Structure 1
Amino acid sequence: MAEAAAAFAPGFGGDYCEDEGDSRVFKAALEVFRKLKDLKCPLLEGLYITEPNTIHELLCTPSKYRLEILEWMCTRVCPSMQDKFSSLNGAPVEAKIQEMVKLGHELMLCAPDDQDLVKGCASPRKQLQFMGQMLDAVQSLAVGCSSYPSVKEDFEDDAEKNEGLLEEFLSSVQLEMLLNPESDPWPVDMQPVLKNQGDDWQGADPVAQSETEKVAELARQLQEGAAKLWALRAELVLAFIQVYDNELGECCQHPDPNLHPCGPIVQAVYQTLTSCSQLLKAVEEVTGTSAEAMDAVKRQEKEPICWDGSSSVMSLATKLEELTRKYQVFNDSLNEGKG
């Protein structure tokens, strides 16, 4: 591990550190490294690095050590990959890379020909996203495998405690005294009726007697149901992988669609039509407003109005005629000045 830390010291492999100054990439690298630590990746034992730049180099620079980390991820997601990798020992490294790409494609995390992503030649953001999603899958599987035993143990502990309490209660002296008191606690007028019932009334409660058996039976049924559910889940996963490998895999490996060169033209036409539609709506609003204004003018043509705070009162039509004359005089004076 010390050699691995030295190999990925700051400054090593600078050609692949495309986003060295991007803090978001460093943050993503730290998150992936934390997940590896939480999952106790054996390849990180004895490796003590904390610098974001060094961790970025470790995870995003092509190296044999980085491929071993990816190989470990693949075996944790799909344990059957361990046998496949073992059979490829001594083969060219490209064979393992192809198997990793195939698994990533089956998990819908990469394209079927994305070897650069596994090799470490893709962009750091894409590499870290791929690793993060792979580790999330590992964590989900780990939580799923550990949750069932935990629930089972908790239920067994509760069942054992309840069984002990019931056994202690049923065998206690106080219960015996309650069922067979030395003095009859019932009123005198009710004693003959109770005595006629004989030993039937004095018998133990059948519900209390069968409580232990019910708890044990429920525990057994819960254990069987949980075991069947876990087995069914494993069978569903295997069935999906087999169906995908045999039937769906080829159907999902379609080439990328071809984009027609007329796309930008269609977009430009769409934008033009949208602008024209907006313009027509504006014209419609202006037309409506003008019609309303004309109606208002017609209604006020004959109504006298006080203009400019002066004492003169005249109608709108008279005021417009006055303004028209003033404008004509002003325009004539301008023309004379030019002449």
Structure 2
Amino acid sequence: MAVPFEEQQLAQKVYAALKAASCPLIFGLHLLEADSMHTLLCTPSQHRTEILAWICNCINPNPKNVKTSVIQSKDPDFQTKEMAMLGRELMLCKAEDFDLIQGHVKPLRQLHFLQELLTLVPGCFTESEVDEEGLLNELYADENRALLTHMLRPTLNPWPAHIKYFSNDKTSSVSQTSQQESADVAALLRAAGRVLKDLQSECEFLHSECQSPAVFSPCALRVAVSDLCQLTAAFRRVYETDFKDYCRRKAPPLSAATLVFQRVHRLLLSCNTELKMLEELSQASVALTEKACQLQTQPCYWSHGEKCTLPDQLEKITRQYKDFLSQPSAQQEK
């Protein structure tokens, strides 16, 4: 079955990139035909797997890295899984794309995958690939030959810098047109500025200097402390798995000062509770004061169906009490 032209070109590029990166696994092959390169790179074989493992090893050159040592493992299944994991970390494939690693998918996808991996290998694709022959053919095409002649022998040579250029009628008309366009643009900008100024005057919230202060919430503090602990624990795990080999130092320990957050939270919560109690006490005091004022000023119904204010009622009761006390003394005098 004939190999498509696009796959042939891509196989040649990938093979050239391997040669540019000095891949030792292609030394001595001397492949000249695109079909042979396509077979080497897209047909499942031990040689292809070793080439892919070498590319992954170049991407992760640290010998202490677990991924690199596993890629060099002799277990094929384990090696395939780790190379797929590396491709997932590089966002080039999924972790379960074992067929892509083993070479059981379409050749075009395999070649694109190898090309994207080789872009991460030092020494590959360092210079932009330019098709010089195609560029020359396009430059010397029949439709471009007149332009090439005009470029080699221009009819209007650049004038020296010390000669002052006087515009002719044509340039003056062009200048007038450009001035008119500039005036139109300036008028349009002024009109847009006025519209924006009117809109700004209508937006009252842009002029309000005093804004409502943020209300303290113990629940928000609890959530923030919980998020901080979770982020610290997550960073510790990521540090142990990925960053430790590069930093060469122990992971930052979780400080015991997190208990301070709990104590601060309890104190703030008790303070907030006391403030709420004081607020309720103040509201109750205001309500009692209003009720007392209402009894002093507004008349209401008392005994015997009479309607009067509290001071009038107290004055009446006092008068009756004095009359009651004065009755025995009056009888004794008789």
TM-score (norm 1): 0.35
Give the TM-score of the pair, scaled to structure 2.
0.36
Instruction: Indicate the structure whose relative CO is greater, using CA pairs within 8 Å and at least 6 residues apart.
Output: 1
